[in-house]
Structure formats: C-alpha cells, structure tokens
Amino acid sequence: MNHVWLLYFFPVEAALTFGVLAVLSVDLLLRRRGVSSERRAWVSTGIGIMALGAGGVLRILAQRSLTTLFTNNAPIRMPGVDGLMFVADDFSIRGTFIILGLSGLSLILARGGVRLRNTAEYVALVLSASAGFTLMTAANHLLAIFLSIELASLSLYILTAFNKRNPDSAEAGLKYFFYGSVAAAFLLFGFSLLHGSTGAMTLPAIADALAKGAFSHAFLLLPIALVMIFTGFAYKTAAAPFHLWAPDVYQGAPPACAALVASASKVAGFVLVARFLAWMPNWFPDSGKLSNHPHSELFFCWFWVMVVFIAASLLLGNLVALVQKNLRRLLAYSAIAHAGVLLLAVVSSGAADAGNDPVYVASAVGILRGGDVLLFYLIGYGLATAGAFGVVAVLDNNGGCREITDLAGLRQRSPLLAACLGVFVLSLAGIPPLAGFLSKFVVFLQAAKAALQNPEFRPLLWLVILAVVISAVALYYYLQILKAAFVTPAPTERDSPGIKKIQTPIPVALALVLTAIALIVLGIAPGILLP
C-alpha cells in the first residue's frame, strides 16, 4: 500500500486539496503582479469551482476506471484498521455530488455579497470545508467520523468569522466555535465509551460486538454513550434542543457562508447521522425479530431520543420562527424545523427494515430507496435555503438586509431577485409544484409506512401528523417574507425620489435563476435531474 493510492481512493478530496493550494498560490502570483482585488476574487472563485468540478469528474472516472479496486460498493481497507474506515457506496457518492454542487453554488453566491478582503482565503476555506463534508459522507469508523467532522467544522468556524470588521461575524464565529467544541467533546466521550466497551472502531464491528454481548456487564453505559453521541450529532445538525448556536451563526456569518452552513454542511451531517443510525436496528433489533438479542429491550434509548429531537425541532423551530423579525434568524429557525423533518426521514429510512444493506433498505416509496428519500429532501432544502441566502447576500451589498422589512419593495427594486426569492421561500414552505413539496410528501409517506408496518415505530405516525399540521403554522412566517417582498411598496427616500434598483452580478443572477428552475423541475419531474 503506497501513499499514491490515496489519490485513487480519495479523488474528490485530492482535487479539493490541490484546489486549495492552487487558489492560494495563484492569488499570490496575481497579487505580485498588481492585479486588482476584484479580478483576483473572480479568478479565485473560478479556480474553486473548477476544483469542485474536477472532484466530481474524478469521482465518476474513479468509479469507471478503477473497477477492480473500487467497485460500486467496494470498501476501502486501510492498513491497521479492523474494518472499513471509509466506504464508497451509492449513498456516500450521491451525497458527495450534492455537496460539491451546493458548495459551488455558495461560492458563486458569495460574489454577490459584500466584498471580502481575501477572497482567495475564503475560497480555500470553502474547499477544505467541502473536503471535510465529503469525508463525512463516507466515514464508517469512529475516528474517521470525528476527524472529518473536525476538518469541516474548523473551516466553518473561520468562515463564519471571516468578515473581521463586522463584530456580529466575530461573535458568531466565537459562539459557533464554543458550541462546536462542546459538541465535539460530547461526541468524543460517547465514542470512547463505545470503543472502550466493544473494543471496536468501525460501525459494523461495533454492531457485531454488541450482538455478541458487549456492554452486558455495564448495562447503563450504552445508553449513556448513545445519548452523548446523539447530543453531539444534534449540535452538528442544529436539531432542537441543541440548536441555540444556529440563529446567531446564520445572523452573523457572511450570508454566503451561512448558505454553506445551511446547505452543504447539512447534507454532510445528515448523511453521517443516517449512516450511524442505520446500524441502530442491528444494535437493538425489534424484540419480535431477534428476541434473544442482548439489547432488544434497549430499543427506547435510541428511538425515543430521536422522537424527542424530531418533535422538539418541529415545534420549537416553527413556533419560534413565528416571532422573528430578523430575516436570517427566521431562516435559521426554519432550518431547525427542517432538521426535524430530515431526522424523521433518517429514522424512518432505517426503520423500514433492519436488513443487510443498512442505509439502502427497501424503501417504502417505490422508486426512491430509503437513503434517496433523505437525499432528495436534502437537495430540495439545500438548494432553496442556499438560494435564499444568496438573495440575502445581494441585498446585503445593496443597502443591507437584516430585518424582514428590509425586503420591502424588492419586487420593484429587482424583479429577478424577488421572483427567485419567491420560488425559494415557497419551496421551503412546501408548496407544490416545487421540490420542497414533493420531498416533504415523500418523507411523510415513508415515515407513515414505516410506522404502520412496524408496531415499534408507531410514534412516527404521530410525528408525521404533527409535521403536516405544523406546516400550516410555518406558512405564516414564510408569507411574511413574501409579503415584504411582493406586497409592501419600496420605501421612498426624501432626498432621492424614485426606487433604487439593485444590480446583481450576472453569474450570481444566473446561478439564482438556475437554482429556481432546478427547484421547479425537481418538484414536477424529479426523474429528469435525478438518475
């Protein structure tokens, strides 16, 4: 095993790392030649997008050419590890493509926002965060999970505080860092308990050890370990009641960075959580199926924790969003509410069947397999929320965008931005024919079916009904945004009569329009864009 093989095993991460180096060195060269900062910013963004694109292309090529080493579900075996450290299955590869796309989108959208001083560094950090995200989708080993989360998080902390001259940004970065560190501590503690009792590090090996009776001598340690781990995950995915960092970060971070935190980072986090939770039925099988399993009576300690997270996220996210005046905080609470639905998708995809291929169990919803229901929701949600933050970024650069009322008259100031924002917000609200509606509906179908097929999962049905009914509450705050943008007239200033038009850079406008079109197409005929 030669280290060059790593390039084959990690084509995406290799491309992103080379991208980081290229962005920084090209920027240095251009700066020496006295190229203007605006032009250097576009060059950096271009290189960043090329690196993300190259990662995607290499991912496809790696699948095609290295079939012997790297077939579709072939695991990567690392020397000295008791199993598979990273897996490259369909689930992680699809998640990787979604992450690359959303990271690229947030890079373009950053060009519409307030000009940052060192765009090259910003791009480099986005690329390294993306490398962390893609590793998160593939991590199958406790250490790999922890390290990939840390790689992503450290980049995000810096990105959040990137606008040094804005005290809000610095504050948000610090809060994010503190919360993230505490979450990491919880996660690590949980992992150490798990490893200490089972002696295993990879997820399948842990499941094996549990089936053979690990923890039976220290019965209470397992629930403690799981609660610690879930707490860490809930922090990372901004699920209530561990969501408190999210509003501050979304509010203070540069909007394009908030777009990254809300979209690509979410995708990585939920893919990781789904991979971890997919083993839960093997850890704690239904008492009916494997009654002799040592932990079948411990079913509650993961399932009910998740039920509480989902219900709390749905209720808290939607109800607190109702009273928000700040647009970015509102989007943050909407993200918390969506985290509830996403966790519902995760739990129900694992719940449908405790089969051999844990993530891709036969799904309840025909064409989409269990993991795909989650990914489809993540695409719809990620595109809509990244797009909304893209609009916020442009507005931020044109007179500021803090309160919802700052959107007043957006229809007159920029019909294009208003139309795009309308699509994004309606998709977040789950109105047909947009992707947000279809993905939400499919999650509900899957969860309801899982609930009615397995008596243990019956509470999921109540969560579905709660989620459906509370979506009517959610429409209120989404309509507040649309009301400001489409109904309220633009404020006319005393000294300058007439309405100040907003100029959107053409690439940003193009990206926003394409995102909106993608949401419409995905909502009507998802088969066109999804294989």
Partner 1 sequence: MNFLPFTIYLSFAGALLTWIVGTRSAAMARWVALAFAVGGALIALFAAFNFMPAADGEPLTLARASWFSFAKYHLAVDGLSLVLVLLTGVAATAGVLFSWNVAHRTGDFFALFLVLIGGVYGVFLSADAFLFFVFYEIAIVPKYFLIAVWGSDSREYGAMKLVLYSFAGSALVMAGLVWAWAASGGGSFDLTAFIAQTRLLPAEVQTGAFALVFGGFAVLAGMFPFHTWAPTGHVAAPTGASMLLAGVVMKLGAYGCLRVALPAFPEGFANLQSVIAVLAVAGILYAGLAALVQNDFKFVIGYSSVSHMGFVLLGIAAATPLALCGAVLQMFSHGIVAGLLFAVVGRMVYERTHTRDLAELGTWHLARLMPFAAVVFVLAGLASIGAPGFSGFPAEFSILAGTWQHSPLWALLAAVGIPIAAAFTLRVVRAAFFGQPNSDASAGAPIERHLPEPVTLPEKVGAALLIGASVIVGICPGLLIDWIVPALASPLMQISTQGGVR
Residues within the interface to partner 1 (CB under 8 A)? 364-367, 426, 431-433, 437, 441, 444-445, 448-449, 451-452, 461, 464-465, 468-469, 471-472, 475-476, 479, 482-483, 486-487
CB of 456 to partner 1, least distance (A): 15
CB of 397 to partner 1, least distance (A): 26
* Distance (Å, whole) CA 435 – CA 387: 13
* Distance (Å, whole) CA 353 – CA 453: 9
Quick one: how far is CA 249 from the chain centroid? 15
CB of 152 to partner 1, least distance (A): 34
Closer residue to partner 1 (CB): 16 or 519: 519
Q: Is the dihedral of CA 206, 209, 215, 220 positive or negative?
A: positive
Which secondary structure element, helix H or strand E, spans residue 278, and what is its range?
none
CB of 26 to partner 1, least distance (A): 43
CB of 528 to partner 1, least distance (A): 12
Is the distance from CB of 333 to CB of 245 less than 8 angstroms? no
Closest CA to 338 of 426, 220, 467, 251: 467
Helices (H), 35-141: 37-65, 90-110, 119-138
Helices 264-277 and 327-351: crossing angle in degrees, nearest 10, is 30
Which residues have CB under 8 Å from 216's CB, separation 6+? 294
CB of 432 to partner 1, least distance (A): 4
Strands (DSSP E) found in 253-366: none
Q: Is 400 exposed, middle or buried (0-12, 13-18, 19+ CB in 10 A)?
A: exposed
CB of 411 to partner 1, least distance (A): 9
Which secondary structure element, helix H or strand E, spans residue 87, and what is its range?
strand 84-87
Closer residue to partner 1 (CB): 50 or 530: 530
* Distance (Å, whole) CA 73 – CA 87: 8
Q: DSSP of 423-444, one letter per residue?
A: HHHHHHHT-TTSHHHHHHHHHH
Closer residue to partner 1 (CB): 10 or 444: 444
CB of 376 to partner 1, least distance (A): 11
Q: Tokens at residue 370, please?
A: 């269990």
Closer residue to partner 1 (CB): 153 or 480: 480
Closer residue to partner 1 (CB): 218 or 452: 452
Closer residue to partner 1 (CB): 29 or 452: 452
Which amino acid does the sequence have at 329?
R
Closer residue to partner 1 (CB): 224 or 499: 499
Closer residue to partner 1 (CB): 250 or 478: 478
